[in-house]
Amino acid sequence: MSEKLMDVSVVLNGKKIIASVAPDMSLLSFVRDRGCKSVKCACETTNCGLCTVWLDGRAVLSCAVPMMRANGHEVTTLEGLQAESADFARCMAEEGAEQCGFCSPGLIMNVLAMEREIRDRAVAQGVEPAMPSDEDMDSYLAGNLCRCTGYTSQRRAIRRYMASRFAAAGEASAAAGKGE
């Protein structure tokens, strides 16, 4: 009640939003208030990964980002990645790996972030992006808890998706090479 509202400006899923917020408002509350209901809260202690969003393209826990710190940055939620996430969502559905589905959006955000990071790093190093090992994928995604699946079906879906992505990327560049 004591706080003075403060002005913020963010780009949320491609749309610029200007708002006045309490200085301690979290990014999680902000995006949910603006209709991004895919972003869930399940622990309050930064352990579960369900509130994962992208801040300037990096996966972060939105519960732990003060809105004032997000000021001036670009925020992406699953609502803004519907087309980009469709292939992975299909892999999940075909394995039944979503189960209750409550943790799925956070996982999808981090899987897509992992894919993107692998690609960006490969570009930076001037090499072909490679399919990560099972251990590397588990390690990258360790912050996404799920209580329904025991993770095994998720691994099947993630492996299948990543294999399709990176095989496709390799073929695409090979095809591009042929074209030249």
Q: Which is nearer to other proteins, 125 or 176 (CB)?
A: 125
Instruction: State the nearest-atom distance from the C-beta of 20 to other proteins, in Å.
Output: 13
* Smallest distance, other proteins to C-beta of residue 16, A: 19
Closest separation between CB of residue 56 and other proteins, Å? 10
Q: Residue 7: phi, psi to the nearest 5?
A: -85, 135
Closest residue by Cα to residue 67 from 59, 75, 56, 58 = 75
Distance CA 102, CA 118 (A): 26
Q: Least CB distance from residue 168 to other proteins, whole Å?
A: 20
If the CB atoms of residues 58 and 173 are measured against other proteins, the closer one turns out to be: 58
Alpha carbon of 115 to those of 21, 41, 51, 162: distances in Å? 33, 24, 19, 7
C-beta closer to other proteins: residue 4 or 178: 4
Token couple for 20: 């006045």
CB of 120 or CB of 171, closer to other proteins: 120
Nearest alpha carbon to residue 119 among 86, 168, 47: 168
